Structure 1
Amino acid sequence: MPNTQSPYIAFAMLLSSNGHPVTPAELHGLLIGRSCAGAGFDADAWLADAAQLLENEPGDAVRNALIGLQEMVKGELTSDDMAIVLLLPTDDAALTDRATALGQWCQGFITGFGLNAGGKDLSDEAKDV
């Protein structure tokens, strides 16, 4: 039985109860992708990119959650060990749910990277990746 206290489930419930047809995995992927493409950590720019997936204007609770998510990612990406924890369902969730969420995370990453890397010259290392 999935852990209903997990950050993923709590964020998913917040999004769905506010009418947003997006998963936490896709939003997290979008945020990591745009950050890796050099978008920086401006909250307004992040909220503008997220708005495309949300499909309607986020209320204060969702806006605060998105800004909190960005602060968490900023801390992960700027720390010395740069350990990133993907926002996905816990290991006790059904395998199909976990696989679907991982696919959504990847889609979000590609979208975020693509939105923010266009026209930039990437390093040889980034091109290899």
Structure 2
Amino acid sequence: MQISKALVSLLFIFCYSVYARAPNAPRKSEPTAGAMVDCSPGSDVKFSWNEVPGATSYMIEISACDGATNCENPDDNPSAFAPINHLYPEQIKDNTYAKPLEHNQEYWWRVWAKRGSVNGRRSGWSNFHCN
């Protein structure tokens, strides 16, 4: 009976460390911080980041500044980023994403990996400008 308990304990530890551990934050590739991006009608803004080992999906969040205040990091100044202004939390399977966005607008974005239902660490926010 002692062997069974030890085996169950080891199996639990293995499963927890492999499946429940939060994935690392992805490194964003594009758009780069401060980039000017073509957002003309009919074009999509392309987002990409590195693949995170063990990730089963990714979440991307894109926010637009309301333009009425100084737009800085959304975590530091959340009142400048109204939820109705292009807040897109979406779950995707690949490490790329494309979406049409309004031109003449500043956007901020971040991404994080998921392993099953476990959210990984979020990348930092970075901004870009649609022209």
Task: Normalising by structure 2, report the TM-score.
Answer: 0.26
Structure ranking higher on relative contact order (CA contacts 8 Å, 6+ apart): 1
Larger radius of gyration: 2
Task: Normalising by structure 1, report the TM-score.
Answer: 0.26
Structure with more of its chain in strand, by fraction: 2
